[in-house]
């Protein structure tokens, strides 16, 4: 009996790979997404994984479409379990329509447990080639054959991917791809799986870009020439990306002994005239807080990439959540301004990280780029960022002999000099200070300095990144979101197809954009979707505007929203 896979131009096909850590699931994901893109398909991939090097059960979702697909769905059209026990982990998402391509020999008693099973001899085919380790590439070949990818397109990429291996290993992998391709082509020919997808020529000129890569590229575009961090998931990808390209772009990449040292190194780099960033997650940022306050007193620029994950403490270290907004907002003793940006797309991850460096330099304040595990570890095809069209906006002056680092100005922003650039002496101090940077305990001067620093808040608010309205301007219902939920909410809104519903996505969450209240007051019904338990952004909106968002859709089990669940919850609220 044929198994029809729902695959209209919007939904595409949802493929899920499920297996143990260390089993090669990332290799299958990498090869399959690249090969499908080479064939002209739009692809999106995201993953959820356990905090262990080997064992457990991890899964990767790949969406394949004729048009862009850029959000996580709960639906599984094709499932490939790679080991025993994989089905149990993913079973709640398996429906009667799910086609399960499984090696009965590999998954044992799980075969036939749920969905529609088709026995595909991945392991036996690999053993015939030479070793069962080739079963993953057999699976890649089977999917390529199933989706009608030309073997001449797939083979060169596989050969290049394994080119660092011995010649016989490369040839065996090519043989595995070819035999797998035959299995997939046979399935397609037998009509056991039906789908209707067409390639898009525009995909050929695009790149597969992850959140980590996009933030890294944005940092390069922003003139970043120094990064110091201590590895911490899910932020480490940014550190490794910049370290990989350090020589090419003149970047000093330092893996510090801890987060405290990393933050202080970053402040030292800015003081010396560099443009620095740290990348961390909640637990690591907690250690940086004293130095964040130091940045506030020094009026030093600083860029902090904070990739959120569920806490408190270690929490779920490899999962996702939007629960560190208030941490970034209120961290640091004393009162000083800061800016919080929250990209929702790969394009925004690039452009807002670039902008973070310019805002930090311009206003001499810490600027946060708030992402999360979902955005960091997801990727899809998009136009390549053009580094040649963006230039860092620098605000360093050549100092004179009478230079005063903290001179009073109408705006509150003092001219910033750096040591060795001009004749002036650049004095900074963690204590309250006078205009020259020397320690003071003058009460009146203290008031003037505090007011000077806080005036930057209004400047940053006026120069901020406004929210994006998606949908009709004469809306009656408005759903608000921020950060990584953008594509998920946007697809849910499209699914509902209502002409009275619009989406308002915030790319800057602090200072709150000036037009926020106007957008909210216009709606008869307001809704917010957040990946946390306490609606942190809704609380911030109420604090700053006095407006209570009526309906709150929250998820905090460690996973991102699925498009279908958000569509359903929105429909319940709107009906």
Residue 9, pLDDT > 50, answer no
Which pLDDT tens digit goes with each residue over 261-294?
A: 999 999 999 999 999 999 999 999 999 999 999 9
Question: Can you tell me the distance from the alpha carbon of 89 to that of 91, in angstroms, rounded to the nearest whole number?
Answer: 6
Question: Can you tell me the distance from the alpha carbon of 141 to that of 291, in angstroms, rounded to the nearest whole number?
Answer: 51
* % of the chain with per-residue pLDDT over 90: 85
Question: Can you tell me the distance from the alpha carbon of 451 to that of 336, in angstroms, rounded to the nearest whole number?
Answer: 10
Domains and CATH numbers, the chain: 3-204 (3.40.920.10), 208-389 (3.40.50.970), 396-465 (no CATH), 468-574 (3.40.50.920)
Which pLDDT tens digit goes with each residue over 473-494?
A: 999 999 999 999 999 999 999 9
520: closest CA among 552, 549, 540, 500?
A: 549
Mean pLDDT of the residues in the chain: 94
Which pLDDT tens digit goes with each residue over 173-190?
A: 999 999 999 999 999 988
Assign 20 a pLDDT band (cuts: 50, 70, 90). Answer: confident
- The SS3 call for residue 83 is coil
Q: From the centroid of its chain, how far is CA 54?
A: 24
Residue 49, pLDDT > 90, answer no
Residue 253, pLDDT > 50, answer yes
The owner of tokens 């011995």 is 166
Residue 119, pLDDT > 50, answer yes
Contact 452, 408 (CB under 8 A): yes
Question: Can you tell me the distance from the alpha carbon of 359 to that of 67, in angstroms, rounded to the nearest whole number?
Answer: 35
The pLDDT value given to residue 22: 73
Give the least confident one: 196-205, 279-288, 467-476. 196-205
Could you tell me the pTM of the whole model? 0.95
- The SS3 call for residue 322 is coil
Question: Can you tell me the distance from the alpha carbon of 570 to that of 528, in angstroms, rounded to the nearest whole number?
Answer: 10
Residue 85 backbone class (left: φ over 0; alpha: ψ -120 to 50; beta: rest): left
Q: From the centroid of its chain, how far is CA 467?
A: 18
Contact 100, 136 (CB under 8 A): no
- The SS3 call for residue 574 is helix
Angle (CA) 297 303 304, round 5°: 100
Q: Are strands 13-21 and 78-81 parallel, antiparallel or unpaired?
A: parallel
Question: Can you tell me the distance from the alpha carbon of 264 to that of 31, in angstroms, rounded to the nearest whole number?
Answer: 40
Assign 233 a pLDDT band (cuts: 50, 70, 90). Answer: very high
- The SS3 call for residue 334 is coil
């Amino acid at each position: 009996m044929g198994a029809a896979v729902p695959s209209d131009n919007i939904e595409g096909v949802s493929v899920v790979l499920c297996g143990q850590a260390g089993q090669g699931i990332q290799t299958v994901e990498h090869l399959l997404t690249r090969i499908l893109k080479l064939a002209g398909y739009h692809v999106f991939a995201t993953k959820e994984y356990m905090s262990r090097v080997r064992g457990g059960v991890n899964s990767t979702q790949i969406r394949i479409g004729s048009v862009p697909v850029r959000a996580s769905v709960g639906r599984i059209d094709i499932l490939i379990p790679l080991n025993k026990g994989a089905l149990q982990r993913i079973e709640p998402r398996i429906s009667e329509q799910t086609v399960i391509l499984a090696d009965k020999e590999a998954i044992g008693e799980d075969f036939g447990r749920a969905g529609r099973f088709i026995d595909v001899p991945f392991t036996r085919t690999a053993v015939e080639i030479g070793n069962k380790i080739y079963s993953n590439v057999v699976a890649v070949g089977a999917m390529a054959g199933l989706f009608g990818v030309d073997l001449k397109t797939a083979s060169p990429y596989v050969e290049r991917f394994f080119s660092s291996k011995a010649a016989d290993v490369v040839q065996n992998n090519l043989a595995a791809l070819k035999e797998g391709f035959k299995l997939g082509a046979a399935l397609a020919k037998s009509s056991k799986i039906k789908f209707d997808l067409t390639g898009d020529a525009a995909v050929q000129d695009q790149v597969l870009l992850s959140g980590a890569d996009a933030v890294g590229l944005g940092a390069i575009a922003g003139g970043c020439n120094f990064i110091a961090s201590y590895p911490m998931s899910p932020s480490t990808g940014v550190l490794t990306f910049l370290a990989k390209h350090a020589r090419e772009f003149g970047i000093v990449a330092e893996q510090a002994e801890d987060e405290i040292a990393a933050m202080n190194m970053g402040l030292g780099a800015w003081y010396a005239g560099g443009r620095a960033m740290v990348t961390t997650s909640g637990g690591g940022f907690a250690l940086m807080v004293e130095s964040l306050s130091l940045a506030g007193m020094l009026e030093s620029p600083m860029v902090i990439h904070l990739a959120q994950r569920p806490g408190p403490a270690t929490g779920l270290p490899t999962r996702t959540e939007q629960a560190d907004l208030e941490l970034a907002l209120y961290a640091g003793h004393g009162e000083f301004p800061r800016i919080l940006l929250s990209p929702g797309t790969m394009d925004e991850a690039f452009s807002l990280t670039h902008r973070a460096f310019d805002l930090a330099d311009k206003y001499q304040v810490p600027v946060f780029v708030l992402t999360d595990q979902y955005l960091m570890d997801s990727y899809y095809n998009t136009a390549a960022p053009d580094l040649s069209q963006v230039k860092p906006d620098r605000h360093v002056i050549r100092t004179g002999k009478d230079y005063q680092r903290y001179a009073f100005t109408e705006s509150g922003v003092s001219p910033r000099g750096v040591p060795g650039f001009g004749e002036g002496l650049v004095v900074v101090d963690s204590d309250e200070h006078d205009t020259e940077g020397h320690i003071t305990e003058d009460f009146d001067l203290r008031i003037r300095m505090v007011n000077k620093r806080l005036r930057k808040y209004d400047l940053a608010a006026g120069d901020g990144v406004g929210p994006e309205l998606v949908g009709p301007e004469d809306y009656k219902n408005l759903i608000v979101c921020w950060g990584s939920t953008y594509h998920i909410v946007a697809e849910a809104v499209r699914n509902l197809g209502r002409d009275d519903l619009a989406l308002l996505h915030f790319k800057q969450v602090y200072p709150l954009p000036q037009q926020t209240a106007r957008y909210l007051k216009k709606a008869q019904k307001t809704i917010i979707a957040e990946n946390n338990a306490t609606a942190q952004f809704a609380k911030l909106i109420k604090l700053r505007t006095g407006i209570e968002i009526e309906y709150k859709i929250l998820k905090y089990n460690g996973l991102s929203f699925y498009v279908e669940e958000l569509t359903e919850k929105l429909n319940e609220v709107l009906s």
